[in-house]
Amino acid sequence: MTDVIAAPPQPRIPIGSTDGATFPVRRIHCVGRNFAEHAREMGAAAPASKASRGNPVFFCKPADALVVDGVVPYPRGTTELHHEIELVVALGADAPPGLLDPAHAEALVFGYAVGLDLTRRDLQAAAKAKGLPWDTGKAFDDSAPVSRLVPAAECGDISTRSLTLEINGEVRQHGKLADLIWDVPEILHELSKLYALRAGDLVFMGTPAGVGPLQPGDRFRASLDGVVEFDGRIVTGDSDAG
């Protein structure tokens, strides 16, 4: 067989500790409303307890939305680009067929990174108001900046870590992973009810409170505290669409 066009490049994330080693990406799953304070700041109800938390909110980004060098062009089609700092989970093995037992979920994790679930908030808000899908607000070009990946064995107990996002040297978001409504094994279990999970899949775990706008020229420093830091900046986009 012969491809009739050049094969698109495979999106990849560099591994922190090993020169030249990379992680090829298959899919990007994302979790919405996984911190109570962020759910509230978005005008959604936050569950009062684990028993009343219902089902997690999931959406996807295309794998080629990844940005690994930290240089993020301001996207077309929006005047309200928002930052959402998130823990990123990378799966290094396929889930077995059927439902994934939460007790077996962490064994699938290759490593962790810190990323930004960049959001065209104006488009997302318009879609929400009409009960329409979030895709144009979430699943756009360069919407998934991600740090290098750190193997799980080097991260310690991830549930004791925290996330911090500085914009131009000022802390805008900070949250403890202990405050996740759904933790990593629970999210992988829930995803397995809906999708086949495979090696190469990423999961963006949801953002703490404090989301807000980004402008061309802004510099960001995203930290998974004690594990990895990711520096980047927003640059003027190539769009004439505004």
Among 151, 158, 144, 140, smallest CA distance to 222 is for 144
Residues 234 and 72: beta-carbon distance below 8 Å? yes
134 makes contact with Mn ion (CB under 5 A)? no
Choose, by CB under 5 A, the member of 13, 75, 83, 84 that binds Mn ion: 84
Residues 77 and 239: their CA atoms lie apart, in Å, by 8
- Catalogue the E-assigned strands of 33-179: 57-61, 66-67, 71-73, 81-83, 85-91, 109-116, 119-120, 144-145, 150-151, 162-167, 170-176
Minimum CB separation from Mn ion for residue 2, in Å? 40
Cβ nearer to Mn ion, comparing 84 with 201: 84
Stretch that binds Mn ion, among 44-52, 109-117, 154-162, 233-241 (CB under 5 A): 109-117
Stretch that binds Mn ion, among 84-92, 106-114, 163-171, 222-230 (CB under 5 A): 84-92
Tell me how many degrees the CA angle 31-36-38 measures, rounded to the nearest 5.
70
Minimum CB separation from Mn ion for residue 32, in Å? 6
Choose, by CB under 5 A, the member of 117, 166, 183, 201 that binds Mn ion: 117
Show contacts with Mn ion in window 190-229 (CB under 5 A). 207
Among 115, 134, 114, 116, smallest CA distance to 124 is for 134
Cβ nearer to Mn ion, comparing 117 with 166: 117
Cβ nearer to Mn ion, comparing 57 with 155: 57
Binding residues for Mn ion, rule: CB under 5 A, are 84, 117, 207
